[in-house]
Chains A and B, each alone.
Chain A
Amino acid sequence: MHAHSRTLNFILIAAAVALAAFPLAGSTFYTQLITKIMIMAIFAMSLDLLVGYTGLVSFGHAAFFGLAGYALALMVPKYEAASLWWTLPAAMAVCAAFALVTGALVLRTRGIFFIMVTLAFAQMVFFVFHDTKLGGGSDGIYIYNKPHLKLGEATLLDLEKLDHFYYLVLALLVVAFLVLRRMLGSTFGHALVGIKVNEHRMRALGFPAFRYKLAAYVVSGALAGMAGYLAAVQFGFVNPEIISWHQSGAVLMMVILGGMGTLYGPMIGAFAFVLMQELFSNQAWFGAYAKHWQLAMGITIILVALYLPQGLAGLLQKVGRKKEAAAEPDHD
């Protein structure tokens, strides 16, 4: 845990400003792409809370992501626009409830068991939406009208409009980041990291570790739900693929690639991952192999596991430390 250096804060603020200015200059395609990246950043941050801060490696995080999307699709009247006011919190609440129930079971395991069980439960959710009529089966459900935010008669936000949606996502990303950062600097957050470093000692010191882990699991699930809701709005469509373990693997990769245990790392990771995905599937560059982009992705993942365990954020931190050391050679 490092103090939030002024350099870091400066960079983050600059990035936020740049993101806010982007739609004014960028094309529709890129605006949509950045929106997608920001949504993935929220998703990745939610997983970092579990993996990087509490030490819980979940391979089933896509369950919350998809659950929220389906919750929206099922709550929305077919040919009307839903209200953001209550559908977003409701979708998040569904995820929180699911996290509470499954978390109580799943957190009875540790280490490799935990990884396997989270994967299995996510597959269970996949099964429910893929194999039953509840969610339209493998065809999925369309969201014909995107939600809006109304105050009385006035429409504050119409998510059909590209830049309304973009700024909503940006605002939620910033809020999520600030809330998480605050939470991680609190006694609760410190306890989570203590549990990651040495759970046994935490219990010996009087901390009911299970309850802390469950709380983190629920928060993480709800936040992943927020990302899933936004993603469903963006696609206008939900299908079981958003709950697949490839989604869980992708978000885990984003967290590691970006640098786990730092909140900004997952954001970098989401950015890098989505860009790589775009790159590898680009036919202009890779021709016939573009459809096999997952091959390049897989190799990248293997290389990251081998050589970049601290992620891109880790690299940046090393560079930052070297600069500090060079600047103050006589420091104690």
Chain B
Amino acid sequence: MTDHDILPPSPLPAEGGDGGPLRSQSEAGPALGRPGGGAILSTVGLTRRFGGLVAVSNVSLDLRVGEVHVVIGPNGAGKTTLTNLLSGDLSPSSGEIRYAGADLAGLPSHRISKMGIGRSYQKTNIFLPFSVFENCRLAAQSRTPHAWRAFSRALGFGDINRQAEAAMEAAGLAHRRDRVAATLSHGEQRQLEIAMCLATQPRVLLLDEPLAGMGPHESQRMVELIQKLGAGHAVMLIEHDMDAVFAVAHKLTVMVNGEVIESGSPEAVRASPAVQLAYLGGEENLHG
């Protein structure tokens, strides 16, 4: 497989546990596949206010390599704001974001990206007039010292090109290499969203509703991709699609009105009465 450029080899089985490929991986346990143990990114009491509105309130969570940490909650729960805080699009009102020993709070988004935190957007945020390849190539370019060369042909840098190809391959878009991004189907554009993220070789992936608007077949593909990615990265996933959530989640956090009301293994969260009361109210069925 050509995706070894972006995904370090993983001791976690790609499929496993009972019940087939869509079952949660939590039985495999978080202890495997983590380079030194401990969280790679953690927030401590993270809070963000907009005037009188507290969008994110005192959120503390951990992201670990090899783990897919899913954040769920009703609309307006503060999930995207949380993602914005972690990616540097917003700065916190208070609290800390610890990553690899540093406090990220207040750093600009390009610095945070350079430190290895990649992010995909809920509302597709690609370069519409460029080809799929150029989208990924530009993303890959950001990681190299060649990014400032003014007189060498951009397309002549083999390392950048290879990185871009690998990202497209991993996201399943290699066959669409030369298509203009604006002409892609919605699902393909969501795949491109992820591909661009991957091309920057992040350690942490913040994925904001990658399955949004996708049909069943595309969703399945995306779920498999997220499972693969979870093996070698620390993934924070925001999703509404419950089948997908339980297929990939190692950890689950539920947010309501900006606060974390429950966090832990998917089973524990599923069984929590607080969650069933606050989040579900009988409309959505967590059981299946």
List A residues at the B interface (Cβ < 8 Å).
1, 182-183, 185-191, 194, 197-198, 200-209
Contacts and interface: CB of A to CB of B under 8 A. Distances in A.
Nearest to B152: A186
Given A197-B130, A203-B109, A207-B147, A185 B141 contact: no
Contacts of B114: 206
Given A194-B138, A207-B110, A188 B150 contact: yes
Interface residues of B, number: 36
B127 A188 contact: no
Contact of B154 (A190, A197, A206): A190
Nearest to A209: B110
Contact of A206 (B113, B134, B150): B113
Which of A182, A183, A194, A206 has the most chain B CB atoms inside 10 A of its CB?
A206
Given A203-B108, A205-B138, A186 B150 contact: yes
A9 to B, nearest CB: 16
B94 to A, nearest CB: 24
A203 B110 contact: yes
A197 B151 contact: no
A198 B125 contact: yes
A188 B126 contact: no
Given A198-B127, A201-B127, 16 more contacts: A185-B153, A187-B141, A187-B144, A188-B147, A190-B134, A190-B141, A191-B138, A194-B127, A194-B130, A201-B126, A203-B110, A205-B110, A205-B139, A206-B142, A207-B110, A208-B108
B119 interface: yes
A94 B152 CA distance: 27
Contacts of A198: 125-127
A190 B151 contact: no
A109 to B, nearest CB: 17
B129 A189 contact: no
Contact of B146 (A187, A189, A202, A203): A187
A208 B152 contact: no
A187 B148 contact: yes
Interface string B93-136: 00000000000000011100110000100000111111000100
A206 B142 CA distance: 6
A197 B152 contact: no
Contacts of A200: 125
B150 A204 contact: no
A186 B110 contact: no
Contact of A187 (B125, B129, B149): B149
Given A187-B141, A191-B138, A205-B200, A197 B153 contact: no
B151 to A, nearest CB: 5
Nearest to B143: A206
A186 B138 CA distance: 11
B218 interface: no
A197 B155 CA distance: 19
B87 interface: yes
A188 B141 CA distance: 10
Q: Which 5 A-B pairs have the closest CB atoms?
A: A206-B113, A206-B142, A188-B150, A206-B114, A187-B154
B196 interface: yes
A266 B87 CA distance: 39
A190 B109 CA distance: 20
B151 A204 contact: no
Contact of B141 (A1, A183, A191, A201): A191
B74 to A, nearest CB: 26
B76 to A, nearest CB: 22
Contact of B109 (A185, A188, A197, A204): A204
B128 A197 contact: yes
B108 A189 contact: no
Contact of A183 (B125, B130, B150): B150
18 contacts: A182-B150, A186-B150, A186-B154, A187-B152, A187-B160, A188-B150, A189-B154, A190-B154, A191-B141, A197-B129, A200-B125, A203-B108, A204-B113, A204-B119, A205-B142, A205-B200, A206-B113, A208-B110
A197 B127 contact: yes
Given A194-B138, A200-B125, A205 B153 contact: no
Most A C-beta atoms less than 10 A away, residue of B130, B144, B147, B160: B147
A237 B143 CA distance: 49
B115 to A, nearest CB: 9
A207 B112 CA distance: 10
B224 interface: no
Contacts of B196: 201, 205
Nearest to A212: B148
Nearest to B142: A206
Contacts of B144: 187
A183 B125 CA distance: 26
A208 B107 CA distance: 12
A182 B147 CA distance: 15
A207 B153 contact: no
B142 A207 contact: yes
Contacts of B108: 203, 208
B120 to A, nearest CB: 9
B125 A186 contact: no
B209 interface: no
A199 B129 CA distance: 14
A203 B112 CA distance: 10
A119 B134 CA distance: 34
Contacts of B148: 187-188
